[in-house]
Structure 1
Amino acid sequence: MSPAHASREAASDQPGSAFGRSHRVDTLLLERWDRDPHRAALIDPDTGGVVTASDLKERVLWVARALRERGVRPGDLVVVHQERSVAFVVSILGVLFAGGAQVALDVNDPPERTLETIADCAPRLLITGPASRLAAAVPVLVVTGEERDRDEPAFRDELGGLDADQPAVVLYTSGSTGRPKASLISHGALVSRLSAMQGTHPLGADDRIIHHTTCTFDMFLIETYWPLLAGATVVIAAPGRQRDADYLARLIRECDITTFYCVVSLLELFLLARDPAERYDGLKRVLTGGEPLSPELVKRFHSRSTASLTNLYGPSECTIYCTAWECPRDPELDTVLIGSAVEETSLWILDPDGKPVADGEAGELYIGGAGLALGYLNRPELTTERFVPDHLGEPGGRLYRSGDLVRTHPSGALEFLGRVDRQVKIRGVRIEPGEIESAALRCAGVRQAAVIAQGHGLEKRLVAFLVAEPGTDGTTLVPTVRAYLRSLLPGRLVPSVIQAVDRLPLTANGKLDGALLAQWAPGPAADGLPDLGDIDPGGPLEGVVEQVWRAVLETADIDPDADFFDIGGDSFKAVRIVEETQRLLAVTIPLETLLQEPTVHSFSTALRRLTEQEQTC
């Protein structure tokens, strides 16, 4: 059996491994907090607030008691709908201590989508903040982060009798049928993964990690639960600043951050947006993943930091990650691998008949072991389809069909080759084109819809093709559908380009011809776009800004009140817009200005203030 197929079992005496699969997250946290009550558990650098382990325990138990008093019992789902904050961390932990499973939803998602998700998971309760405008048809508990109760609830004694196989976390991801699917992750699976991470990248009391990842991306579990279980400190990034490389770089420097996770595209942004001479030697370890990592990016990072760089791979169905590969400091590096199985994990590379392939041959990756999700919430058919009996391992085991093509590298680690289905990843986000197509078909006037991913690496974007109903004008349908999708889907799922066509191309057997559709997609440039070299900086400020945006975003028209990230913008285009605007206007523009004022109108207003300040100085 080759290393690619091997299973790594837990070793109780492994150095740095502090957790065990038989434990629940809540009992482990209580042990940690009681062992070192005065340790700084959470830091909010923007307010200067520090929450000790003792304080955090009091607040979490208060929330847990409030949830119990409102009827939450072991196994119940509780939605947490709060901005990233101390209160958010208190809420998600409070759910676990009440015996429930947390369903954290992004407050920036459209209200209709949030309400649909709440209806889908049917939670016992909704936790939100005092400023929430969400009117959900479920009981609500408002949590501010200041709650505390020094009388520990009696149900603390019940925690030891609860099952480690009970769900702890529910994570929603894009669904191919148009309905998002939710993975049920147990306490045991979560503890297993966090134990594996602690075993290979041990955190101590002096370590600090930034929590900046959106709560709908499973890596936020690494940023919160891992350091709290290990006795390290979580530094909470301000809401809305997760795209802001300048802000995050400042946190790394001023808050003595030792451990940092970021998707590959954010790592690229750091190296694009910051001074090339700036180094990150204060960091001990950087974790990345979510999308393919290039050898060139690895080399650029290593030239700027002494920290280790580890490439993580794994779908949320296997709880955060299932393979890891520490990138070597090799100037001749030509291939980035995804690594080998982590602790308590089995991997198999199988052909379409379910048989192991020969070493070096491509096949679909099947994942087994302690980290597997329990299945999909309320989706028994899909669970049966994707979580299959393990016919190669121990009787009674399960394997998850990842849909990813991999092969064994001569070193024994795995190499990621792509997908076996239509699923794509853009900026680290897993996207099912079918979900977007389903949403578009709900818009009046749309007869057919098809969505593809165009481009590679940093330039990859979503392109949608629409066939109008008879009698509907395709030119007017495009802006209607764009507005409709913005109201229904998160910005990351709204295609950068939407194009009306007379028909969708089909193959000889009547299926959608994706290859031909990709040829129909508009190229990166289009006639009528402004040339950056011809823009007159002496014109009206908002007009100059609009021309820069149109040129960089490669779009003929821009609504002055449209969000930059909803109309095809990303972190890399943001860097270019700031650089080009600085060149034209001869004014220093912090990158965070665009990220905080992401419309043509608001960005122009902010630039006007910056210009006046420089003239005053």
Structure 2
Amino acid sequence: MDRVVTPATDATTPPSNPPEERRRSAGERTGTGRPYPATTVCGLFAGRAAMQPGATALIFQDQRITYGELDARANRLANHLVARLPCAGELVGICLERSPELVVALLAVLKADGAYTMLDPDFPARRLSQVLTAAGSTLVITSSALTGLVRGTGARLLVLDRQAAAIAAGAPVEPRAAADGEDLACVMFTSGSTGRPKGVASPHRAIVATLANQTYVDFSDREVVLQCSPVSWDAFALELFGALLFGGTCVLQPGRRPDPPAINELVRAHRVSTLHLSASLLNFMLDAYPGTFTGVRQLMTGGEPASLAHVAKALREYPGIRLVNGYSPVENMIFTLCHTVTADDLAATSIPVGKPIAHKGIRVLDHRLDPVPDGVTAELYMTGAGLAHGYLNEPGLTAQRFLPDPFGAPGDRMYRTGDLVRRRPDGVVEFLGRADDQVKIRGFRIEPGEVETAIGRHPAVRRAAVIAREDRPGDKRLVAYVVPVEGAKFTTGELRRYLLASLPDHLVPAAIVAMETLPLTANGKLDRAALPAPVRPARPRRPRT
């Protein structure tokens, strides 16, 4: 789509013909494997539906939906879109509860040559309005129960339950598609340092290449996969398409957020064999629900550094399980690096994030964009077929983060992650932290600047600073330090309610500390080390991701 601008070479770009040894040094760090199919997400799904129409595609509560049924329902809605609400080349918002209807809507948008952005019903209406404005979406697919969240955005609404009869009367045949692998498939919005969300625009190619012909886990028609991650995450695509593009069965967890009791019940009841959980949620499940993973063959985790103690527990209690620690920012779709954890890893100080998966590569470069030797800490850059086009309607930001790849072919790009890593002599990568202020909490990527901007809009707030604290090992929390306007008063409860009206729950600080002034260093910068721990930390919340 023409709304995404590919970055141009700027004055900081290194020479296009680096010495051969620099090229070879950087080029070695690329995953190998069979080529990925040159097709679209909906093309792969349609092929599977034709191959095994009677196989179970979705399980939701007491419903079992076959591939043939799911494909026909998606085709009917796609033809309805093509005839009445054309979305070819458009970005369509989907605001639905986790359900078969959500999956039908997503597939239908792709079949109609559109792209989707998931509008999480758990987010406040103001946040969804921001996302739709940034996306430029003119159409939202929703239900009667959720129209209040999106009614005031100016977008056209397709309310599924109100138009059910007209949709059901449509033809169940595949509409004629013109999209290819480079066309936009989805836009996922993440926290933005400017105070507004930024949309990562990913093509079909990124999803297909990340899942097809991979070896980090086995995606096949033998697998039963649980879908429990928030729908606005790229992990949603992993859990849904990791089943539906390969003939497996996807079990949909009811509810908007991962629910540990439900996960425990569904994994056991449906014999889930492949499971993805954020690191925090995995830790909680191992502690609170022993026996959950007895029948699980493949367990993927990521989003945060893995806990050595909990990884050791998983290997000890479930010796037959394949435990994979994965890592990637959403700009390179789901996973870029993966590592199958073994007992040998438990002797280290942290669990590594591994080597590049097939169809993706990495560069570990210094500030001059020169490769560094093994064992040296430097910034991680990512390459390969999983890369997004860039940030939707943000050409300047796209140019800053998606750079020409000096070690690749003409036109190749690399994504600057802002993450610091170290590569071992065996090629395995260890994650060491961020090179900027961005943090990850409960698997969510957070720009503290966005939270500070939101707090600063409150009329009683003069200045705010937001940091991540880990006052207890393994319990990382977002804490806000707030200086009020002279003479103004507010309660932390009032400020929290104010933030919940515009921010998702994961961006609302767990503790808010009122201060007369913020401590500064000798050169006038915020003295983070001098910020006090909250006197009365918020009661620990059960992990939701």
Structure 1: gaps spanning 5 or more residues: 13-18, 527-553, 556-567, 575-594, 596-617
After superposition, the C-alpha distances for 1:397-445 in whole angstroms (9 at most, x for unaligned) are: 1110001000012332000000000011111111110010000111112
Q: Flag the 1:82–1:232 CA change in 2: closer, same or farther, 3 A.
A: same
Judge conservation of contact 2:195–2:449 (CA < 8 Å) in 1: yes
Aligned partner of 2:133 in structure 1 is 119
Judge conservation of contact 2:121–2:256 (CA < 8 Å) in 1: no
The one-letter code matched in structure 2 to 1:33 is: A
Deviation at 1:385, TM superposition (A): 0.5
Judge conservation of contact 1:4–1:412 (CA < 8 Å) in 2: no
CA distance in 2, matches of 1:70, 1:122: 19
Instruction: Give the one of 202, 213, 217 matched to 2:233.
Output: 217
Q: Matched residue pairs, number?
A: 513
Aligned partner of 1:50 in structure 2 is 64
Instruction: Give the one of 257, 266, 269 matched to 2:272.
Output: 257
Q: Which runs of 4+ in 1 moved over 4 A?
A: 1-5, 144-150
Aligned partner of 2:194 in structure 1 is 177
Judge conservation of contact 2:25–2:371 (CA < 8 Å) in 1: no
Instruction: Give the one of 31, 39, 64 matched to 1:8.
Output: 31
Aligned partner of 1:298 in structure 2 is 311
Structure 1 residue 570 corresponds to structure 2 residue 545: no
Deviation at 1:282, TM superposition (A): 1.2
Judge conservation of contact 1:58–1:150 (CA < 8 Å) in 2: no
Q: Flag the 1:279–1:109 CA change in 2: closer, same or farther, 3 A.
A: closer
Deviation at 1:222, TM superposition (A): 0.7
Q: Flag the 1:96–1:332 CA change in 2: closer, same or farther, 3 A.
A: closer
Aligned partner of 2:14 in structure 1 is none
Instruction: Give the one of 165, 168, 171 matched to 1:151.
Output: 171
Judge conservation of contact 1:4–1:413 (CA < 8 Å) in 2: no
Aligned partner of 2:5 in structure 1 is none
Q: Flag the 1:294–1:409 CA change in 2: closer, same or farther, 3 A.
A: farther
Aligned partner of 1:562 in structure 2 is none
Which structure: greater helix fraction? Answer: 1
Give the alignment of 1:399-478 within 5 angstroms.
399-455=414-470, 458-473=474-489, 476-478=490-492
Deviation at 1:446, TM superposition (A): 1.1
Aligned partner of 2:6 in structure 1 is none
Structure 2: gaps spanning 5 or more residues: 1-23
> What is the SS of the residue equivalent to 2:113?
coil
Deviation at 1:482, TM superposition (A): 1.8
Aligned partner of 2:145 in structure 1 is 131
Aligned partner of 2:13 in structure 1 is none
The one-letter code matched in structure 2 to 1:191 is: V
Judge conservation of contact 1:4–1:414 (CA < 8 Å) in 2: no
Deviates more, 1:342-351 or 1:132-141: 132-141
> What is the SS of the residue equivalent to 1:303?
helix
Deviation at 1:497, TM superposition (A): 1.1
CA distance in 1, matches of 2:341, 2:334: 19
The one-letter code matched in structure 1 to 2:77 is: V
Give the alignment of 1:258-273 within 5 angstroms.
258-273=273-288
Higher RCO structure (Cα 8 Å, ≥6 apart): 2
CA distance in 2, matches of 1:387, 1:469: 40
Structure 1 residue 521 corresponds to structure 2 residue 533: yes
Of structures 1 and 2, the larger Rg is shown by 1
CA distance in 2, matches of 1:273, 1:449: 36
Deviation at 1:126, TM superposition (A): 0.2
Judge conservation of contact 1:55–1:148 (CA < 8 Å) in 2: no
The one-letter code matched in structure 1 to 2:498 is: Y
CA distance in 2, matches of 1:76, 1:216: 18
The one-letter code matched in structure 2 to 1:522 is: P
> What is the SS of the residue equivalent to 1:440?
helix
The one-letter code matched in structure 2 to 1:348 is: R
Judge conservation of contact 2:365–2:372 (CA < 8 Å) in 1: yes
CA distance in 1, matches of 2:55, 2:459: 57
Instruction: Give the one of 480, 505, 508 matched to 2:494.
Output: 480
TM-score by length of 2: 0.90
Judge conservation of contact 1:106–1:216 (CA < 8 Å) in 2: yes
Aligned partner of 1:565 in structure 2 is none
The one-letter code matched in structure 1 to 2:379 is: E
CA distance in 2, matches of 1:428, 1:232: 26
Aligned partner of 2:179 in structure 1 is 162
Instruction: Give the one of 72, 92, 95 matched to 2:109.
Output: 95
CA distance in 1, matches of 2:434, 2:169: 50
The one-letter code matched in structure 1 to 2:95 is: H
After superposition, the C-alpha distances for 1:241-290 in whole angstroms (9 at most, x for unaligned) are: 61x32221111111011110000111111111124xx3633111001100
TM-score by length of 1: 0.79
CA distance in 2, matches of 1:55, 1:31: 14
CA distance in 1, matches of 2:308, 2:513: 35
Deviation at 1:481, TM superposition (A): 2.0
The one-letter code matched in structure 2 to 1:171 is: M
CA distance in 2, matches of 1:353, 1:511: 26
CA distance in 1, matches of 2:80, 2:503: 32
CA distance in 2, matches of 1:482, 1:214: 22
The one-letter code matched in structure 1 to 2:484 is: A
Judge conservation of contact 1:40–1:51 (CA < 8 Å) in 2: yes
Percent identity for Structure 1 against Structure 2: 36
CA distance in 1, matches of 2:498, 2:121: 19
> What is the SS of the residue equivalent to 2:281?
helix
After superposition, the C-alpha distances for 1:308-348 in whole angstroms (9 at most, x for unaligned) are: 00001000000111010000134853231100111111201
Deviation at 1:240, TM superposition (A): 4.1
